[in-house]
Amino acid sequence: MFMFRQRLFTLVFIALIAYPDCGNAEKTSKKHHLNQASNQSTQSSSTKAPSKLPELGARPYGQRPEVMAQAADIAERRSLPPDWTADMLGQARHLPSVARLMLPAPRGQKKDWGVYRGRFIDPIRIGAGLKFWRTNAALLARAEQVYGVSPELVVGIIGVETIYGRQTGSFRVMDALATLAFDFPAGHPRAAARQAFFRDELEQFLSLMHRSGGEPFSVRGSYAGAIGMPQFMPSSIAKHAVDFDDDGKIDLTNSVADVIGSVANYFKAYGWTSGVPTHFEVQFDASTLDLDALLAPDILPTFSALSIEKLGARLTEAGKAYPGKLALIELQMGAQPAQYVVGTDNFYTITRYNWSSYYAMAVIELGQAVAKEVRRE
């Protein structure tokens, strides 16, 4: 077991230090994972983040006694050298832009699936996805065989996250995670939970880097601290990254094989079921519709096909035959009437990468659009 863990940290080190000079990965969540990181992944793939590293006037955390006081606690919890931990935290810098990027849209501002969709389902991503699929068809097929995860899902995720590696992030991950761990914006509605999450990710990142002998300040990623082509958070790297090309190291930036295998392994771990649809079309019976009851569980599959129909949802024949639990998914369209689909357990699994039904639909539709182009060839 010791040798396995030692090898794991060595592999993770390679994954962390190997990064390109281009782009940004503005997942993350919500991934990821981002799944815990709220809506970071959707923001990270669609919003250009500043590339100043560090920002002008950014204050080092070594000047913050309350942060330095926590270094010893972190070192003890993670079995890290106290001096090294204090040195790393002391060099990290507070990035005000990172905190600003984490704030949600103003209250009362309606979401718009049409606008959101347009950011991701476009000719650039579809064309890049087609090239990615064509080049890596054998790897995608092997990942499906090993993990039971469809090529459409893997291609959709990587395309939404980073346009297949074009935008992987330019923030120093150490600075981004420290900022969100110690200065998460108080105006966020879930500030306490989010700050606790990022403190855990910061500690995980420090653990991975120390045990691998890596240099924390060499690693670049999104403003939320997500890393590499799939935008994995440090905890996801530790849990789900795999050496899919069997070259003795994990590289989530330069090894497409490792990226494909790691994304597929992530979804297998979160319960993806091969051959199960992600969602079904739905209509409503106005005479029996109880929309509040249907939306109450949010995106968590709760209803049987029979019970969801009793509340006024009218399923397709395939939906009626589905044996698992279902959830009504609302996609707001700005000032226009909302659109609805009925999500399965596989739909919910996609939201474990990022807690957003909009994100999940973008991943699904991008994957489908690329698959359609592949079939045309």
User: Which positions are annotated as active-site residues?
Assistant: 161
Measure the CA–CA gap between 246 and 224, rounded to whole angstroms. Answer: 29
Which token pair is 273? 């079921």
Asked whether the beta carbons of 31 and 234 are under 8 A apart, the reply is no
Dihedral sign, Cα of residue 212, residue 214, residue 220, residue 225: positive
Residues shown for the chain: 377
Measure the CA–CA gap between 363 and 103, rounded to whole angstroms. Answer: 23
Burial 223-235 (b: 16+ CB within 10 A, else e): bbbbbbbbbbbbb
Asked whether the beta carbons of 155 and 132 are under 8 A apart, the reply is yes
- Is residue 165 helix, strand or coil? coil
Which token pair is 133? 């699929």
Asked whether the beta carbons of 260 and 281 are under 8 A apart, the reply is no
Q: Tell me the C-alpha to C-alpha distance, in Å, between residue 317 and each of 77, 272, 321.
A: 53, 23, 6
Asked whether the beta carbons of 326 and 304 are under 8 A apart, the reply is yes
- Is residue 16 helix, strand or coil? helix
Residues facing residue 293 across a β-bridge: none
Nearest to 184 by CA among 101, 127, 111, 119: 101
- Is residue 170 helix, strand or coil? coil
